[in-house]
Chains A and B, each alone.
Chain A
Amino acid sequence: MKKVSLLQTALAVSVLALACSPAFCGSLDAFKGEKGVLKISGGTAHIPVMKDVAQKVMAANPGIQITIAGGGSGVGIKQVGEGLVDIGNTGRKPSDDEISRYNLKLFRWAVDGVAPVVNPSNVVKKLTKNQLIDIFSGKIDNWKTLGGTDRKINLYTRDEASGTREVFWEKGLDKGAIAPSAHVVVSNGAMKSAVAQDPYGIGYVSVGHIDRTVAPVALDGVVPTIETVSKGTYKISRGLFSNTKGAPAGLKKKFIDFLYTPDGVKIIEQHGFIPSR
């Protein structure tokens, strides 16, 4: 009996603390009185930030329901353009053709890098850009050539709808070929777990997604981190966009606006991205 009441008190206190925590009171005020469903899909690099913001908004306002799906940048543009979702995220700037066809409105709320990653147990943690290009084209196919163990290099790449793939291919591989033998995975999260599982794999993920399960590879001596990306010394970078069809209003606008408030910026930083101002 006593246990239950204690638990209840703890719950009540934590709910109160969450609802009135000084950090979020101000920015979340905008959502007061709002009701409805907000659907988000597209870029998979965005998902951690989107989830975090959605949780905070929904906790403060039970009348709001936010759903978040992945699919990749291509899906984001397609679905927001066809009116299937309210916000379509992209890990690349939508093309002029896409913008005019769907009347897209772009919001770049963060800068992110795309980094080659290997399994933490791999001794090869430094590559030149030419080596990277040769690895992904299949010219270098054994870790031994790079000073590692005598095992085949397993390539991991992303599907056609991926903005991360497009950025990496353009800026990391200088539009060089990606060998057809490369494994294809469908999200930044899946890429991370694939490389984390495979001691002989190499892939690429959003810099914000790098944690202890995968090791970033220094490219031409520059380790891809949030600092090197923001300083501009690490070159494979891109904007993270949230796009709406036409100018956003109501809940859509408030959600996007929140990403630019001090609290939103804090969440973006927490997830390893560089907030754009």
Chain B
Amino acid sequence: MKTVREIAAERTFLLSALASSSITVGILAFMVFMGLPLLHEGGFFAILGNAWDPYRGAYGIYPMIAGTAAVSLLGLAVAFPLSLGCSFLTAGIAPKPLRGVLRRFIELMTGIPTVIYGFVGIFLLVPIIREFFRDGSGMCVLTAALVLGVMISPTMTLFFRDAFDRIPRAYLNAADALGASRAQKLIHVMLPLAKKGMLNGVILALGRAVGDTLIALMLAGNSAQVPSSVMEPARTLTAHIALVIAADYESPEFRSIFACGVVLYLFTMALTFLVRYLAHGEDARI
């Protein structure tokens, strides 16, 4: 028998769940609606595939899609080994008291605003990259990816740690009983068992990397071109929205940023579904 209070609570929760999910769908609908005129004029694929040259009437966002992919994937490539090392260290290799301290530090790092990373990047990393590679201005895909990698790695590390913590004690004990070294235990027992939790960490970190605006805006140089090497400047979708939002509301430039929004949205969604699917497949095999 459900009391009135229980029913009321149930309904309230249902309502808030409905509200948050309908807002998500509503935002997509809104962006598609606002982007419609541009889609009518040029066709959706023309926008996705074309170059950005407003003075010649080209409002394609392909360079920005390429820029986002380059910066965020490279950032992920930087962050993954970093996070893996950090989580191994705090999960088993470092002495106990040090683990706690390290963990606190990592937690603290997740809270640092991205603009701080951007500032440090501009004054510290940009001149180093410029003089080390002696090519370009130092504001490039590589610089942004390095800083982005450092920015997202604490989130990733914490997820990895949590995944390690959820491994049943008995498995670890069994490994110890078999005489496995700490490194062997990590690689052969913990890593395979924590795979799913780690995958979640990777998705979330990639989501942060794709969605971050300031680091790319400050460090990637914002050139509307497809970068042909990591030393070249590039513009991400988020930075593009930030740069163009100032344009006239009626202009095609302004409308094109809704296409950017839709692409960002679908990209993140597709990514989430893909990884969910992969994780599901893993489960089925076990």
Contact = CB atoms under 8 A, between A and B. Distances in A.
The answer to whether A and B interact is yes
Interface of A: 71-72, 74-75, 77-78, 151-152, 154, 159-161, 169, 175, 177, 180-186, 197-198, 200-201
Contact of A183 (B52, B137, B249): B137
Given A154-B137, A160-B253, A198-B137, A180 B51 contact: yes
Contacts of B232: 181
A181 B222 contact: no
B247 A181 contact: no
Contacts of A197: 122, 126-127
A180 B63 contact: yes
B19 interface: no
Given A78-B249, A181-B232, A184-B235, A200 B224 contact: no
Interface string B113-137: 0000000001000110010001111
A159 B223 contact: no
A181 B248 contact: no
B233 interface: yes
Which 6 pairs from chain A and chain B are nearest by CB?
A161-B246, A184-B222, A154-B137, A180-B225, A183-B221, A75-B246
B243 interface: yes
Q: In the complex, which of the residues A72, A184, A201 has the most CB atoms of chain B within 10 Å of its own CB atom?
A: A184
Interface of B: 51-55, 63, 122, 126-127, 130, 134-139, 221-225, 232-233, 235, 243-244, 246-249, 253
B126 A181 contact: no
Nearest to A182: B223
B243 A184 contact: yes
Given A72-B246, A160-B253, A154 B136 contact: yes
A198 B130 contact: yes
Contacts of B55: 169, 175, 177
A236 to B, nearest CB: 18
Given A78-B249, A197-B126, A181 B225 contact: yes
Contact of B243 (A160, A169, A177, A201): A160
Given A180-B52, A180-B225, A184-B223, A74 B134 contact: no
Nearest to B246: A161
B246 A183 contact: no
A60 to B, nearest CB: 33
From A72, A169, A177, A181, residue with most partner B Cβ within 10 Å: A181
A200 B130 CA distance: 10
Contact of B246 (A74, A152, A177, A182): A74
B223 A181 contact: yes
Contact of B233 (A77, A159, A181): A181
A68 to B, nearest CB: 16
B233 A185 contact: no
9 contacts: A78-B246, A152-B136, A161-B247, A180-B224, A180-B225, A181-B232, A183-B223, A184-B221, A198-B138
A41 to B, nearest CB: 10
Contact of B248 (A74, A184, A186): A74
B58 to A, nearest CB: 10
Contacts of B51: 180
Nearest to B249: A78
A160 B139 contact: no
Most B Cβ at <10 Å: residue of A72, A161, A201: A161
B244 A160 contact: yes
Contacts of A154: 136-137
Given A159-B246, A197-B122, A201-B137, 16 more contacts: A72-B246, A74-B246, A74-B248, A151-B134, A160-B247, A160-B253, A161-B246, A169-B55, A180-B53, A180-B225, A181-B223, A181-B225, A182-B223, A183-B137, A183-B222, A184-B224
Contacts of A201: 137
A58 B246 CA distance: 29
A110 to B, nearest CB: 23
Contacts of A159: 243-244, 246
